[in-house]
Amino acid sequence: MTDTFKKYLMGDGSARIQAVRLDTSWQTGLAHQHYPPCISSLLGELTAAAVLLATNIKFEGSVVLQLQGDGPVALIVVECTSDLTFRATVNLRDPDLVPSDGTLQTLLNTYDHGRFTVLLDPGRDSNMAPYQGIVPMEGETVAEVLEAYMRNSEQLDTKLWLAANDHVASGLLLQRLPDVGGINTNDGEQAGPGSTEGPAAESKAESWNRITQLAATLTRAELLDTDTDTILRRLFWQETLQELESREPAWHCSCTRARVSAMLRMLGRAEIESLLSEREKVTVSCNFCGKPYEFDAVDCAGLFLQNLDDSGSQTLH
């Protein structure tokens, strides 16, 4: 199985259907992050959701989804760019306080102060201003929290099915499109002839009800164990679907050895030498992805004698 994202449009323009499966990229992302299973599940579900939502933005930027908690988990955050590169991490208050059967509400909304945040970041080169929406954490699952946000803040009927473990993060999204004749949907496709009333509108409402009922039969086990094409074929084999795009998401964190080196140089020679007097190596882990970077005595000496290229290799001048 490979990392896959697929987007389809219902033949009558009533809805978009999107599916994502992350396996290799998800395992790469967790390579340096080790969480209890209940935490990995929440992080993976939020990651799958971020990929699904990032494909619908119309600028070269990123979507950031954040669950801010008042319980054992302080923060779960995922960033996915319009290129479908993503990164994700968790900040725990105390790993020992995380119960093995922890849920979204018990881990992040213990005292009803948990918050869900959506940030749309258009990037530095855009004239657009960033958008941020913050809402209470309503729902027992990540999918329910997102559905409530889309319904109340974006006025979009959205249904989500999400599942994740240490090996796979997977999701299915159905989103009802505006039923207005002659106006393009967000995917650049016509929503179909007709008005917001009459037989055409009733037909599209029936289509939406039908596909949501079909998708409701999807189980967590199927999401984790079955590839995207098979899931879509099983659920919607009688539907007329137009494929809009197929892409391959990938894990990417912006941390590099060169950036860590620059940070160590800012600490100064005396501080680095003090650290080396206590240990054989200086180890710095990325705050986001957890990837460790090690610097022995020779590496540290080179920080103040030589420059580094973009890969962190030493170059004499």
Q: Which residue's structure tokens are 């990325």?
A: 286
| Secondary structure tally for the chain: helices H, strands E | 10, 15
pLDDT by position in tens, the chain (length 317): 579 999 999 999 999 999 999 999 999 999 999 999 999 999 999 999 999 999 998 888 999 999 999 999 999 999 999 999 999 999 999 888 899 899 999 999 999 999 999 999 988 766 788 889 999 999 999 999 999 999 998 888 999 999 999 999 999 999 999 865 433 344 554 444 334 455 677 788 999 999 999 999 999 999 999 999 999 999 999 999 999 999 999 999 989 999 899 989 988 889 998 988 888 899 999 988 889 999 999 999 888 875 544 454 544 33
Q: What domains appear along the chain, each with residue ranges and CATH number?
A: 4-251 (3.55.30.10), 257-315 (3.90.1280.10)
Phi first, then psi: give them for residue 162, nearest 5 degrees: -130, 145
Burial 220-248, CB ≥16 within 10 A → b, else e? eebbbebebeebbeebbeebebeebeeee
- Please name the amino acid found at residue 33: Q
pTM of the model: 0.86
CA distance 313 to 207: 58
How many CB atoms sit inside 10 A of residue 200's CB? 18
Inter-residue contact 162 to 104 (CB < 8 Å)? no
Residue 274 and residue 46: Cα distance in Å, rounded? 41
